[in-house]
Amino acid sequence: MAAPLVARHIQDFSNASRLEPHWGYAERVLPCTNDKGSCEYLDLVYSAHDVGMIYTGAMWLVIIGVLGAWAVGRRVFPSAATSSAAVNSNPAPDGEIQSAGARGASGGIVRARNAVASAARRSLLPESARAIFGHTTRLQVTILALIVAYLTVFSFVGMEYRIWITPVKSVPGLTQTRSTLGPWSDRIGVLAYALTPLSVLLASRESLLSVLTGVPYQSFVFLHRWLGYVIFAQSVLHTIGWCIIEIRLYQPQPDVGAAWIVQTYMIWGLVAMALLLVLFLLSTKWAIRAFGYEFFRKAHYVLAMVYIGACFAHWQALQCFLVPALVIWFVDRAARLVRTALLHYNYLPDGSVGFASAKATVQRFEDAEGGDVVRLDFVHPQRPWAVGQHFFLCFPELSIWQSHPMTPLSAPSTSGPTPGGGRTNPAVGSVHSYVIRAKAGETRKLAQLAAKKLAAGGTDEKGQPLDPKVSVILTGGYGQAVTGDGIAPETNILCVAGGTGVTFVLPVLLELVRSRPVPGRKVELLWAIRHERDMEWVRPELDGAAGGGSDGTACTSTCF
């Protein structure tokens, strides 16, 4: 890295008595043999960079500390709902009477915690500045504001703001301007590099953040998107700053600017900036509507990896931030493959063990107005998931390079009895049912495949029509449970949905009616659909819920 920095940093490496290393930057030539102003400028350049590296380290220590404290807090102080359920479900042992004081003390603690949790939810969970951030909670906006505030403050502190007028050795009588704009532009660039691994971490599906915090990966997408905007803004400022310095302040011009722009590190810097611009434009809602989400997703992956490579070529000394970003990305990809392999590594029909996709029975409901609807039903040997979780479904008959998030409309259950009456025997298999609206892209191809298979027909050896099958590869489940132990017995439940959105609320209804019955509880579904025939999408589930719970839980469905 020394060669391209000779002209830029007015240092003569060939006559250096000593080279002083600086982490993330070029080595410094000591002693400084330039004019007084240039030497003072170099003092500021290197000191500001060193302080900036300390600030990035402090930022990452704070992030790690907060995540560590959050992870420990989740184990030591469980949620208020869990604590309440534990108190209500653990009566005194037989023969013992719990004292009124003990009951009052434990109940008071639980009530206090519930009050604090309720106040926090009222303050932090409502949406904030929807016109700017979309459907985003105050908590997410607050976290983003704290990050931006930290970056803003530490972009400016820790450096002296001065201007030096220094002579140009090659042109007697000509002077050039050196200022704090150079160190400041470098600081902005270092912070942008330091944010890169965090941005990748926030976009991971197999998220370490979710493991530590219990927050589902999709909740971090907002921060990933806006952190990308921050990196883009930092990169623009970094580029503008150095363009002003090299094309306007340094002399003689245009010789200095022309020599600077063709240097290898500068070319790769422009490539990285161009890639960031494309990433930014493709992430806008207008571009996603124009090109489709699948194009955005694939282009985002490719452009992001090429961008990190361009950053590596632009400033290799800061690879301490780029290598972790690549490691996080590849670990996430590997974890997805391993998770999928474990989910599908089962006994095969011939008695051997190996990888096998699930075989889903497919139904097609024609709808010329809104697009056909496809229903998939299959049993897969796995433990039941939690209500509210979703899976990524890949259809290898269409493409192995695409997977789409789908919410099962079936309640988590097994296909038969398990030893001891439980529901945790993966050998039995969990029942999966999905309702998918075919709009464009992969879902439309799925509807076309279903139509083709249904038209092909076929009968078994007894002459009965065969149900068409579609191969499905699962990854998941992802997300959090939406039905917890903290639902009070006296609470009635109202589920509201429209169209295929019923796949999210129907499992809640079925779970509460079948597996968590409460005498006297009322559970109601309000479902907005275009046609009465649309009820056939989920007819088995509606019929199963219509009878209510065995203990008198009342369940009603209203479709309009």
- pLDDT, one tens digit for every residue, the chain (560 residues): 444 444 445 777 777 788 999 999 999 998 888 899 999 999 999 999 999 999 999 999 999 999 999 999 888 876 655 444 444 444 445 444 455 554 555 566 767 777 777 777 777 778 777 888 888 888 899 999 999 999 999 999 999 999 999 999 888 889 999 999 999 999 999 999 999 999 999 999 998 999 898 888 888 999 999 999 999 999 999 999 999 999 999 999 999 999 999 999 999 999 999 999 999 999 999 999 888 888 899 999 999 999 999 999 999 999 999 999 999 999 999 999 999 988 888 777 777 788 888 889 888 888 878 788 899 999 888 888 888 889 999 999 988 888 889 999 887 875 543 333 333 344 467 889 999 998 878 888 888 888 888 887 665 566 566 678 899 999 988 888 877 666 777 778 888 888 888 888 888 888 887 766 677 778 888 888 888 888 888 888 888 777 655 555 666 666 66
Contact between residue 297 and residue 279 where contact means Cβ atoms under 8 Å apart: no
Among 439, 455, 478, residue at a domain's last position: 478
Among 478, 506, 522, residue at a domain's last position: 478
Stated pTM of the model: 0.85
On whether residue 457 sits in a domain, the answer given is yes
Greatest Cα pair distance, the chain, in angstroms, is 102
Do residues 390 and 292 both lie within one domain?
no
What DSSP assignment string belongs to 494-529? EEEEEGGGHHHHHHHHHIIIIIS--TT-EEEEEEE-
On whether residue 72 sits in a domain, the answer given is no
Q: Which domain holds residue 520?
A: 493-559
Do residues 150 and 193 both lie within one domain?
yes
On whether residue 92 sits in a domain, the answer given is no
**H, E, C per residue of 93-112:** CCCCCCCHHHHHHHHHHHHH
Do residues 390 and 539 both lie within one domain?
no
On whether residue 452 sits in a domain, the answer given is yes
On whether residue 464 sits in a domain, the answer given is yes
Instruction: Identify the CA nearest to 339 among candidates 491, 473, 155, 493.
Output: 473
Do residues 529 and 389 both lie within one domain?
no
Do residues 219 and 273 both lie within one domain?
yes
For position 453, which CATH number holds?
2.40.30
Do residues 328 and 398 both lie within one domain?
no
First CA to last CA distance, the chain? 69
Do residues 321 and 285 both lie within one domain?
yes
Do residues 301 and 174 both lie within one domain?
yes
Do residues 332 and 363 both lie within one domain?
no
Do residues 285 and 232 both lie within one domain?
yes
On whether residue 208 sits in a domain, the answer given is yes
Do residues 404 and 311 both lie within one domain?
no
Sign of CA dihedral 368, 370, 371, 376: negative
On whether residue 96 sits in a domain, the answer given is no
Helix (H) or strand (E) holding 282: helix 264-282
On whether residue 58 sits in a domain, the answer given is no
- Tally of structural domains, the chain: 3
Unique residue bearing structure tokens 């309720």: 118
Do residues 196 and 333 both lie within one domain?
yes
